[in-house]
C-alpha cells in the first residue's frame, strides 16, 4: 500500500499545485480546464475498467506462479485498451466542443461563457496527444503492480509529476525564456510528463526480464488463447461497462449541478482536486486489497484472504476517518489560495466539508468494491457502482436541481450523502463471502 499511497499523494499534491497555477490565470481558464478534465475522466476510468478484468487474472496467475498466464493476460490488455482509445479519440475529435458546452451555464458571477469554451477547446486539442501514452502506461504499470512491483511505478510517477510541475510553471507563466502559453502550456506539460513516465516504466520492464519473466518475448506474438479471451471478457466486460457508466454518471452529476452556474463548475473543480489529495489513503487501500486478496485467492488460501480482507477494510475506514478530520479543519482555508471569486470560494468550502464528513463511508464502499472485484464478481460490482448511481443518485440530483430552489451545497450534500445506503449494500455483499473464489484453480 505504501508505495502506491506515496505515488498517489505526490501525484495529487502536484495536481493541486497545477490546479492553483491555472487558477491564477483566472476563473474562466480554470473552469475550461476543469470541464475538459471531467470529460477525460471518463476515458481514464474506461482504461482502468478495460484492464481490470485481465488484472484479476494477472494477480491470480502470479499468485499461482504461471508466468505465461501473466503474459497472455497482458497481451489481452493491449487489445482491449486499443479499442477504448480508438472510440474515445473518435468521439473527442468529432464532438469535443459540444461536450464542453454542456457544462457552461450562466450563474451569479456573470463569468465569460465564450472565453471558458475557448480555453477548454485549446486545452483539449493538446491533451488528446497524451491519451495513447496514458493507455500504454497503464497496461504496463497495472501489470507490474499486479505482480507485486509497486516501487517502479511509484518512482516513475513521482518523477513525472515533478516534470509536469516544472513545465507547468515554465509554460503557463512564460518563465525561463519560454513563451507564456496559459492553458495550452498546462496541457503541453502534461504530455511531456506522460512521455517521461511511460519511457521509464517500459524500459525498466524490458530490461529486468529476470524479475519480470512475462516481458520476455512479449511482442513475438500478440495472440491470446481463445479460452482466456472468453474468460477475461466474461469477467472484464461488466467491469469496463461499469467504469464507463460510473464515470459517465459522476460526470453527469457534475453536469446537472453545473446548471446552477459556471461558478459551481469552478467550485467542484477546487473541491475535487483538494479532496483527491485526502482520498489517496483509501484509493491506495483499494489497490492493496485487490492485489493482496487476489493473490491469496489465486494461491487457494481462502480463509486467509477473508481474514486479511476484513482487517484491510477496517484499517481503511479508521485511517480515512482521521484524515477526514484534518480535511474538515483545512476546508475554510484552502479555497483562499485560488484567484477566484468569493462565491466560488464559499461553494468550494461547503463541498470540501461534505467530502470530509463522507470520507469514512467512501473508504468502506471503495474497499467493498475491490473486495468483490478481487474474487471476479464483476456483475455485482456493476450493480454496486453503476446501477446505484444511475438509479438513485442521478434522478435525485436532477429533481433537486430542476424541481427545487435549494442552494447547491444542500443538493451536493444529499447527492453524496446517500452513499450511506451503498455502505449497507456493500456490507451485505462482503459478509456473505460470495467473492471468495479461486478463478485459476484448474488452469
The domain spans of the chain are 2-431
What average pLDDT is seen over the chain? 87
Rounded to whole angstroms, how far apart are CA atoms 323 and 111?
Answer: 34
The pLDDT value given to residue 318? 93
Cell numbers at residue 183, please? 492553458
Residue 92, C-beta contacts closer than 8 angstroms, at least 6 positions apart:
39, 43, 99, 124, 128
Q: Are 250 and 275 in contact (CB under 8 A)?
A: no
Kindly indicate the confidence band of residue 432, based on its pLDDT and cuts at 50, 70 and 90: confident
Instruction: Give the pLDDT score at 423.
Output: 92
- Looking at the chain, the whole-number percentage of residues with pLDDT higher than 90 is 35
pLDDT in tens, 62-120: 877 778 888 888 899 999 999 999 999 999 999 988 999 888 887 666 677 888 899 99
pLDDT tens by residue, 239-264: 788 788 888 888 899 889 988 888 88
Alpha-carbon distance of 189 to 191, in angstroms, equals 5
Lowest-confidence range among 296-305, 363-372, 396-405? 296-305
Average pLDDT on 361-368 reads 92
Per-residue pLDDT, averaged over 11-35, amounts to: 79
**Cα(406)–Cα(409) distance, integer angstroms:** 8
* For range 40-55, the mean pLDDT: 86
Instruction: Give the range among 4-8, 411-415, 418-422, 431-435 with minimum mean pLDDT.
Output: 4-8
pLDDT recorded at residue 352: 95
Going from the C-alpha of 30 to that of each of 81, 112, 375, the distances in angstroms are 30, 12, 41
- What pLDDT score was predicted for residue 71? 87
Helices first, then strands: H and E counts in the chain? 17, 0
> For 391-420, what is the mean pLDDT?
92
Contact status, residue 224 vs residue 196, Cβ threshold 8 Å? no
d(CA 414, CA 422) in angstroms, rounded, equals: 13
The residues near 175 (Cβ < 8 Å, ≥ 6 apart) are 169
Q: Tell me what pLDDT residue 346 has.
A: 93
> Which of 218-227, 302-311, 364-373 bottoms out in mean pLDDT, i.e. has the lowest?
218-227
Three cell numbers at 363?
A: 473508504
Please check the confidence at residue 128 and state whether its pLDDT lies above 90: yes
Q: Which of 187, 185, 182 is nearest to 25 (CA)?
A: 182
Identify the band that residue 363 occupies on the pLDDT scale cut at 50, 70 and 90.
very high
Which of 206-210, 317-321, 406-410 is the least confident region? 206-210
274 pLDDT higher than 80: yes
For residue 139, pLDDT over 70 is answered with: yes
Residues 265/103, Cβ–Cβ less than 8 Å: yes
Instruction: Please compute the mean of the pLDDT values over residues 45-49 and round it to a whole number.
Output: 86
* pLDDT at 14 > cutoff 70: no
Residue 280 has pLDDT above 80, yes or no: yes
| Whether pLDDT at 228 is above 90 | no
**Is the confidence at residue 327, as pLDDT, over 90?**
yes
- Which percentage of the chain shows pLDDT scores above 70? 97
Q: At what angle do helices 262-298 and 226-257 cross, to 10 degrees?
A: 150
Query: CA of 338: how far to CAs of 9, 22, 189, 243, 361, in Å?
Result: 20, 9, 20, 31, 29
Q: Say what the pLDDT of residue 109 is.
A: 62
Instruction: With a cut of 80, say whether residue 173 has pLDDT above it.
Output: yes
Q: What is the mean pLDDT of residues 28-34?
A: 86
Amino acid at each position: 500500500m505504501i508505495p502506491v499511497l506515496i505515488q498517489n499523494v505526490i501525484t495529487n499534491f502536484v495536481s493541486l499545485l497545477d490546479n492553483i497555477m491555472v487558477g491564477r490565470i483566472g476563473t474562466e481558464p480554470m473552469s475550461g480546464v476543469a470541464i475538459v478534465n471531467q470529460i477525460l475522466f471518463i476515458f481514464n476510468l474506461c482504461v482502468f475498467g478495460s484492464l481490470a478484468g485481465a488484472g484479476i487474472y494477472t494477480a491470480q496467475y502470479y499468485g499461482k506462479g504461471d508466468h505465461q498466464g501473466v503474459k497472455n493476460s497482458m497481451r489481452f490488455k493491449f487489445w482491449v485498451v486499443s479499442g477504448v482509445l480508438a472510440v474515445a479519440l473518435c468521439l473527442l475529435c468529432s464532438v469535443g466542443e459540444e461536450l464542453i458546452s454542456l457544462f457552461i451555464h450562466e450563474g451569479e458571477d456573470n463569468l465569460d461563457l465564450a472565453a471558458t469554451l475557448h480555453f477548454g477547446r485549446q486545452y483539449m486539442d493538446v491533451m488528446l496527444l497524451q491519451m495513447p501514452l496514458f493507455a500504454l502506461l497503464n497496461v504496463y504499470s497495472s501489470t507490474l503492480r499486479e505482480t507485486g512491483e509497486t516501487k517502479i511505478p511509484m518512482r516513475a510517477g513521482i518523477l513525472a509529476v515533478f516534470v509536469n510541475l516544472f513545465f507547468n510553471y515554465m509554460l503557463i507563466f512564460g518563465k525561463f525564456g519560454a513563451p507564456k502559453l496559459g492553458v495550452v502550456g498546462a496541457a503541453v506539460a502534461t504530455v511531456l510528463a506522460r512521455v517521461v513516465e511511460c519511457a521509464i516504466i517500459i524500459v525498466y520492464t524490458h530490461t529486468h526480464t529476470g524479475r519480470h519473466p512475462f516481458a520476455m518475448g512479449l511482442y513475438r506474438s500478440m495472440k491470446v488463447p481463445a479460452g482466456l479471451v472468453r474468460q477475461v471478457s466474461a469477467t472484464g466486460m461488466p467491469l469496463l461497462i461499469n467504469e464507463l457508466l460510473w464515470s459517465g454518471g459522476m460526470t453527469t452529476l457534475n453536469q446537472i449541478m453545473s446548471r446552477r452556474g459556471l461558478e459551481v463548475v469552478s467550485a467542484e473543480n477546487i473541491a475535487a482536486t483538494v479532496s483527491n489529495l485526502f482520498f489517496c489513503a483509501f484509493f491506495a487501500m483499494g489497490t492493496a486489497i485487490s492485489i493482496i486478496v487476489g493473490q491469496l485467492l489465486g494461491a487457494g488460501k481462502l480463509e486467509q484472504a477473508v481474514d486479511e480482507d476484513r482487517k484491510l477494510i477496517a484499517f481503511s475506514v479508521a485511517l480515512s476517518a482521521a484524515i477526514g478530520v484534518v480535511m474538515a479543519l483545512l476546508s475554510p482555508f484552502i479555497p483562499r489560495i485560488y484567484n477566484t471569486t468569493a462565491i466560488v470560494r464559499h461553494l468550494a468550502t461547503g463541498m470540501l466539508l461534505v467530502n470530509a464528513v463522507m470520507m469514512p463511508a467512501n473508504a468502506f464502499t471503495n474497499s467493498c468494491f475491490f473486495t468483490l472485484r478481487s474474487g471476479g464478481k464483476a456483475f455485482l460490482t456493476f450493480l454496486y457502482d453503476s446501477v446505484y448511481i444511475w438509479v438513485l443518485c442521478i434522478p435525485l440530483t436532477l429533481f433537486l436541481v430542476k424541481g427545487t430552489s435549494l442552494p447547491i451545497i444542500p443538493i451536493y450534500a444529499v447527492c453524496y450523502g446517500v452513499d450511506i445506503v451503498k455502505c449497507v449494500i456493500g456490507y451485505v455483499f462482503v459478509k456473505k463471502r460470495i467473492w471468495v473464489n479461486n478463478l485459476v484453480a484448474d488452469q
